Amino acid sequence: MRTIRRFALIYVVLFCISLVTVLPAYAAEPYAFGLRPSSVGCPEGISLPSLNDAYKSRIAGALTTAQDVYGQQQLEAPGGPTYNGVKDFLSPIMYSIAPAAQGGFQTDTGVYYIPFGQPKQSTLPGDVALTVADGSQIISNKFGGLSTRIFVGTGGQEQFGSCLANLDTPELYNNYLPVLELHYKDANSIEYQQESLATLLPGTDYIASFVEITADRGKSKESSTHVRVQVCENCNLHPEGNRLVDDQGRTHLYFSPGAVFNQNELDYTLDVKKKDQNTIHIVRLVTLPARRQPTKTAGCQVNTTEVCTCHPTAQTMASF
């Protein structure tokens, strides 16, 4: 049994290595694969991270030799093959690539997504919020589905996470819990923390994404910044209290106070000099309800002054 586990682990490692060696070739020319214009880029003088020649040579050598180089190293290790023994072989994979006929990259920035949701039953996956790991976008259920985009910085023109050099490695809370935690610095050096999870909207059977974004001045000389949420495209929304609804009265999104609404977008101007005025919350439904929701749901007055928002440890109530 131990030998089987060893070879299974080695197979997985080498399979992942084969994926990584392909990705840099695509990443070198991202605009050739259908990314949205102006969605990717870094300030002048900052380069996107790339694999160095030594790394690529090491991986290529392992794949082209007749011997199982990494596998043999692990078999000869005192404790045998382990996760700690192989975890540093590969750099994190950041890009998600579809067949060229489908446009190449599956997300605006090309970064992979994490499917957050809650199964209805053991055999039914239910709805999922495809949450892009750089914090730029949330897509409903499948590639090409209803999409919400997040922008920051001057005029809210910089897509969150679009400069990978200014994005810390995405993490899950406690390294495994399904809460995406991000730290990003925009072109003006203003820093942002984003937390995102997906769970049932209280009192309903609808899956929703709960997103919290906090801006901090950091070393920036700017006194304010913008967080802009493009809720959807061509969906003809209008605000009702703390909700954005369509012509059928269906709620697309709940939001915290302070936003200016314009053509399916919310624009927050945050005073980064003040610690208590620089956080926003949004709650985005993955699938739209068939009809107008009731004004109250058990445990959460989602249509009035309260909404359930994400927190590092649990889902909590935040009064708007």
Average pLDDT, consecutive stretches of 10 residues, N- to C-terminus, the chain (320 residues): 36 38 36 46 75 85 86 89 84 76 79 89 80 95 90 93 92 94 95 96 91 94 95 91 92 95 94 86 90 46 40 39
The pLDDT, as a whole number, for residue 304 is 33
pLDDT at position 289 is 77
Class of domain 100-319: mainly beta
pLDDT for 79 equals: 87
Smallest CA-to-CA distance from 126 within 44, 73, 201 is with 201
| Pairwise CA distance, residues 62 & 47, whole Å | 28
Task: Return the pLDDT at 283.
Answer: 97
Cα dist. 187→16, 49, 92, 184, 220 in Å? 33, 16, 24, 10, 9
Return residue ranges of the chain for CATH 2.70.98: 100-319
CA angle 140/288/122 to nearest 5° reads 65
pTM: 0.75
- The pLDDT value given to residue 27: 37
What pLDDT was estimated at residue 63? 83
pLDDT of residue 40: 55
